[in-house]
Amino acid sequence: GAGVSQSPRYKVAKRGQDVALRCDPISGHVSLFWYQQALGQGPEFLTYFQNEAQLDKSGLPSDRFFAERPEGSVSTLKIQRTQQEDSAVYLCASSSGGMGTGELFFGEGSRLTVL
Amino acid sequence: AQSVTQLDSQVPVFEEAPVELRCNYSSSVSVYLFWYVQYPNQGLQLLLKYLSGSTLVESINGFEAEFNKSQTSFHLRKPSVHISDTAEYFCAVSGGSNYKLTFGKGTLLTVNP
């Protein structure tokens, strides 16, 4: 596609439910990132993939968070047993380079609300 | 580790007035610096970046930012704003690994007629 596509755009979950957020990066982009943006804050790094390899997952807040990119294109961010503090916008970004120079292309985000 | 401080959370200005959005960073390594913009109901877009070379960088829509190493700043300026510039602006830094961006909390620029 022309840009980074994320789905769903909005998700309401009851506390304790599992959720899965999908990201379709720009075709051919090697690098894929997930960021979490809480209300009133800037995006915070969660994890980084280069093709199918997850090279950095240091930003994942707990072991309830899991991300995968099995074929080096589409990625899924899964949150198990959601908690209220997980409420945020989850942003996916991609870039054409490997160790990039910061020119990331962002999707519109998936807004997760945990009740 | 890096950090970014955007000193103003909101900046209201009138159309055609000049504006400066302030950004200061800290890092123990050399950095790349960025400004991203988020228009209402849209995703983040790269506005401009400093990687190396000239410390003054410009965007296609009239914004400019100057990298000041001694003051660890990367302020964003525009001499005359338009209503269409209303958006949230995020300053970001990467260093060391070069792939992990650290963002500030953002500055909401509101341009009024």
B53 burial via Cβ count (<10 Å: 0-12, 13-18, 19+): exposed
Half-sphere exposure of B40 (CA within 13 A, CB side): 6
Residues of B in Cβ contact (< 8 Å) with A102: 32, 34, 46, 49, 92, 94, 98-99, 101
The residue-averaged pLDDT of B50-66 equals 89
CA A42/CA B90 separation, integer angstroms:
7
- Give the model confidence (pLDDT) of A10-39 as tens digits: 999 999 999 999 999 999 999 999 999 999
B46 touching chain A per CB within 8 A: yes
Which residue in A has a C-alpha nearest to residue B108's C-alpha? A40
Using a pLDDT cut of 70, give the percent of chain B over it.
97
Residue A59, classified by CB atoms within 10 Å of its CB into exposed (0-12), middle (13-18) or buried (19+), is: middle
Q: What is the pLDDT of residues B17-31, one digit of tens each?
A: 999 999 999 987 778
Given CB atoms, is B27 within the 8 Å cutoff of chain A?
no
* pLDDT > 90? residue A42: yes
Q: pLDDT at position A37, please?
A: 95
The rounded distance, in Å, linking the Cα atoms of B49 and B58 is: 8
Q: By the 8 A CB rule, do B50 and B73 touch?
A: no
Distance CA A73, CA B42 (A): 22
pLDDT at residue number B74: 96
CA trace torsion B59, B21, B9, A23 (10° rounding): 20
Confidence (pLDDT) at B96:
65
